[in-house]
Amino acid sequence: METRRDPRQFLFFIILLLLINSPETQPPAYNTRSRYDDLLEREWSHLDILNQTRWGDFGGAEKQGGDWLNVTGFRQDDGFVWDVLDSVKEKAREKARSVLGDRPEVFPDAQPGGTVEDIRLYKNMTGYVEGEWVRLSQSQVRHPTDLNLSTVIPDNPFPFAEFDRNLTGVGGPVRLHLAELEGKARTDENRTVSEIQAKVVIGDHESWGDNWWEFLVHGVHYPELGGAVLTTTSDKFAGIFALPHFQLSPYLYSSSQVLLNRTIHETIERQVNRVYPLWNPWSSSVEGTNDGVLGATHCELVLYLQQYGVGFQEGKNGQQMLSNLDLDWIEHELRFPDGARTPSRSPLTMSMVGFSPDCGFVIESKGPPDYSPAEATHLQGLKTEEFNDRARHGILAFAIALASQLTFLIRQAKEAATPSTRNRISFYTIAMMAIGDGFAFLALVFMHLFLGTSQLALYAIAFLALFSVILELRFLMDIWTIQATEQMRQDRQQASTPTPPSPQPASTPAPQAPPPTTTLGDTLPLPATANRARPPAPVIVSSDQDSLVEEPPTPPTNPAGAPVATTPARAELSALYSRYCLILIIIFFITLQFTTVRSTARAFYFNTLCFVYVSFWIPQIYRNVMRNCRKALRWDFVIGQSIVRLLPVAYFYGVEGNVLFSKTDWRALAVLVGWVWVQIVALASQEILGSRFFVREGWAPPAYDYHPILREDEEGDTMPIGSSSTGSASEGLGSSSEETSLQPGESKGKGKKVFDCSICAQDIEVPVIPVGGAVEGQGLGGLTLQRRVYMVTPCRHIFHTSCLEGWMSFSCTCSIRQHLDLEDGIFKFARDSQSSATAGGAGGRAYD
């Protein structure tokens, strides 16, 4: 009868959910709608100022008290640093001149004849680029107290402690994810300017724990020029409304002003018509939420990007082939593929100049001409279409790895079809593999949220990972059933063992006659035709020290006779699945939390997690030692699983530009691969040299040794029993050597004896240590490999190792005893038949 679960645990979870979801005590709130109306009014006012201003109306401090804008963050009393804006613009012009030449659109005083006509630029910059940034000498060190908070954020009652996103170091990594969706990005009629959005992931090497930040910037992109200007927008900095004043020329100013007038107007109209308030449509928060009154403590950022020209690989016709290539057609083919073959291209490359008006730092991408191309090449990456192709290739490779895992698992499960083989396998080894596959299933289900593409392929591979988990859990259930039954049997034996009596004073034993000396022939088993009684056939204990005869799981009893309570098997299996799911979910959510922590803590967590995951052979090594068993797993399973489970780890640790943008760490990868190799070597050593060759005596519980060292002086205790004579077989072969006259157990030479394996009917040459010494020319260590050739059962029969291991996979009874019992049954059946016939004949004659 299945036991009922305790309902108190469910009641606890219900109360916990109610406490988590219960509304918190709210402070006296102000009129939210009124504040939202004030926000909309301020946005309309900023839009009017954007329409009325002209090129050069905002110059900041360099205009000697010149014009300022009545926009948040651009007023004279706000305390922002605008005196370095001209130097930042000049730095951005240098980056653009190195690519575009003297374009009149960018440089008003440029000569038209100096333009570059043959430059190839992507019209759509959707993709990602990454590289290193360095700090420029124009940077300043500022604190929140340097701002006029009463005018910037009058609603904030508390001063800022420190700026968030503040880059105080001299360098660090940066990655930009550019989004300019085709058909959704708003642009002008001639598509000379369009809106663009980018997610910035930037870190600081000199911050504590390698801190990093992730935020959004919005701006405009000039497809014909390959340039883009982006900025953050918050309650203390209305960057999107003053974006035209960050442009490099009057032409760029006017084109961006016309576009922003229309797009900002449409955005504010949507804010007015929304049912729920949208506080900041240009928020820099990745989650899309508003920064809040007390949350706008981060540094603002203005970015200047300049795309470099696209290079092609030369073909047979050289430069003529390159001149005929149409980059617009290549972009269309990448976005809407028709199967045409596109030439190899250089990666998407662009330079960056960044400026923070409130925190004062100025940064640029690391690359030529300030740094050699061998050291850094600015920001490089791939377009989204190329990144999606690379992601699909990685998904396909992972699918092949999962299919290989399934193949190895199925073959191992077929091999472990008997209780003996299942009892040797470590439950925790398979459980660790199942948890890894379950983690892969959850990661594949949610990975499309990070990649944004390949959702169908990810779900298909997730189903394959789920199928692998189901098979592994089924295999775990089979292993647990055998091992739990054996544990119950051992507990029952321990419970039924009486308590040893207290020691009594030893008495002087009476003199006894010496035991009669026996010869080797006396120790041979009786012939099958003998009529005297024979003890029952013993059961061979398998090499994992467990009896392979299935016993019914009857309730054990304690010494007092009372039954010991046991948990029903169905409840145990239910608990097994529940614990698996609980552990998997906990690990997954902890991993999600560590994806947002500092780089040092994140690297430590993932290195530790991967190290624990690739330690799946450690439980098997431990079980081999404790059970004194070998050959629990197939070698193709060990080698195959080690390789296919290391492939995803090697991909994320050793491949630059992987789908998760994880940093390469060859040192950690070498440690993980070496650790798996050490485990494989340990398993191989246990199979060749014995499962306890590296364990000191007393560290593991006592167990029967199937490969004992045979000594002549212990013949009565450990010397195996010969099974049959080998003389006739040798004579039949016509051999005149010395071996033909040897009987089982006789000496073949100094330090060796010959026995007969009853399974294969071949001789076994066994090394035997003579009385009072060792085998000549070799010590006990030299016998290690020779001992693996034979096995001695508890009933003192000797066999070849391969023969007995193959026999024990099908039968748990000694082959010699089973054969003799069969002969006894045949002779008994013949005698009974003869007696019946005799009685029948006598009865017939009497009847007649």
Q: Tell whether 472 is covered by a domain.
A: yes
CB 759 within 8 A of CB 791: no
CA distance linking residue 586 with residue 584, whole number of Å: 6
Q: Is the pLDDT of residue 653 over 60?
A: yes
In a domain, residue 619? The reply is: yes
**Which residue range forms the structural domain that includes residue 787?**
710-821
CA atoms within 13 A on the CB side of 529: 1
Choice among 242-246, 345-349, 839-843 with the minimum mean pLDDT: 839-843
Cβ(740)–Cβ(731) below 8 Å: yes
pLDDT at 607 over 90: yes
Q: How many separate domains does the chain show? A: 3
111 shares its domain with 174: yes
Based on the fold, state whether residues 672 and 731 are members of the same structural domain: no
Q: Which of 377, 395, 425 is the last residue of a domain?
A: 377
Examine the fold and report which residue of 689, 724, 743 is the final residue of a domain before the chain moves on: 689
Pairing label, strands 302-307, 710-711: unpaired
pLDDT value, residue 305: 96
Same domain, 439 and 585: yes
221 or 561, which is more confident?
221
Domain co-membership, 355 together with 224: yes
* Within a domain: 251: yes
Same domain, 674 and 810: no
Q: Which of 54-63, 364-373, 434-443 has the lowest mean pLDDT?
A: 54-63
Please say if the pLDDT value at position 51 is more than 70.
yes
pLDDT category at 816 given cuts 50, 70, 90 is low
> In terms of domains, do 458 and 432 share one?
yes
Residue 487 lies in a domain: yes
State the pLDDT at residue 446: 83
Segment of 188-197, 317-326, 393-402, 664-673 carrying the highest mean pLDDT: 664-673
Query: Is it the case that residue 389 has pLDDT exceeding 90?
Result: no
Q: Which residues in 65-186 belong to E strands, given as ranges?
A: 127-135, 171-179
Q: If you average pLDDT over residues 247-274, what whole number do you get?
A: 91
Does 319 score more than 70 pLDDT? no
Give me the DSSP letters along 424-456.
HS-HHHHHHHHHHHHHHHHHHHHTHHHH-S-HH
DSSP classification of residue 536: P
State the average pLDDT for the chain: 76
Look at residue 316 and tell me if it is in a domain.
no
Report, as an integer, the average pLDDT of 158-187. 81
Are both 302 and 416 inside the same structural domain? no
Instruction: Answer yes or no: is 517 within a domain.
Output: no
Residues 394 and 354 reside in one and the same domain:
no
Q: Among 170-179, 231-240, 450-459, 685-694, which stretch is predicted with the lowest mean pLDDT?
A: 450-459
Task: Kindly calculate the radius of gyration of the chain based on its CA atoms and give it in whole angstroms.
Answer: 41
- Tally helices (H) and strands (E) across the chain: 21, 15
395 shares a domain with 358: no
Please tell me whether the overall predicted TM-score, pTM, comes out greater than 0.85 for this model.
no
Higher pLDDT, 586 or 147: 586
Same domain, 671 and 720: no
Residues 680 and 594 in one domain: yes
The reply to whether 399 and 370 lie within a common domain is no
Domain presence at residue 506: no
Q: How does pLDDT run across 466-503, given as a tens digit for each residue?
A: 999 999 998 998 898 888 887 787 778 777 766 555 55
Which residues have a Cβ under 8 Å from the Cβ of 188 and sit 6 or more positions away? Answer: 194, 255, 258, 259
Which residue's entry shows tokens 């396909």? 396
- Asked whether residue 147 is assigned to any structural domain, the reply reads yes
Q: Sorting pLDDT into bands at 50, 70 and 90, what band is 845?
A: very low
In the structure encoding, which two tokens stand for residue 439, read together? 């983690």
pLDDT classification of 817: cutoffs 50, 70, 90: low
Alpha helices, H only, 120-239: 149-152
**Alpha helix stretches (DSSP H) within 178-325:** 250-273, 319-323
Most confident of 185-199, 439-453, 659-673: 659-673
Pick from 153, 187, 162: nearest CA to 72: 153
Last residue of a domain, one of 625, 657, 689: 689
